[in-house]
Amino acid sequence: MNSLHSKFDEEGFRDFFLPHLNSISKSHSATGETFNKKGKTDILIQDGDGNNVFIAECKIWLGEKELQYAINQLIDRYVSWRDEHTALIIFNKNNDNFTQLVASARQAIGNHELFVKKINDSSASSTRYAFKNREDEEKHIQLELIIFNCKE
């Protein structure tokens, strides 16, 4: 029998997380496909005053080139000058060597033109980085790369 996650696409994974995110805090709201800056981001968390506290983009792993594209999409389309906390949430559905996938993703992050530095490893498959904001390179964005292995 196929598991539920084998049928999930990016939106399915996002919709799986939203109820949990909304249960964490009554003073924050998490929404999906929410307009911010120039487009609709996959996950937007705002405080009770409507200020953005977190922006995330969900992607199925399709390689380093697509990860670079996802970074640009997140920073260029969804992050304004005031936004500081972001994430790329990557789902592996097809690759057998998850350890190599994580290493490839981390290398791609480090090669991005706006990369500043690695801040820390949050876990074996989650790392926090500092990136420049393209509109103001003195302003830095924290980007958490979170990778889930969903391969059966």
What digits encode the pLDDT tens for the residues 8-53?
Answer: 667 767 667 666 676 777 888 888 888 889 999 999 999 999 999 9
Would you state the pLDDT for residue 30?
Answer: 82
Domain that residue 87 falls in: 4-149
* Total number of domains in the chain: 1
Distance from C-alpha of 27 to C-alpha of 10, rounded to nearest angstrom: 26
pLDDT digits (tens, 9 = 90+) for 69-79: 999 999 999 99
The pTM of this model reads: 0.88
What CATH number does residue 8 fall under? 3.40.1350
Q: Is 125 helix (H, G, I), strand (E, B) or coil?
A: coil
Would you state the pLDDT for residue 26?
Answer: 80
- Confidence category of residue 1, pLDDT binned at 50, 70, 90: very low
Distance from C-alpha of 74 to C-alpha of 12, rounded to nearest angstrom: 19
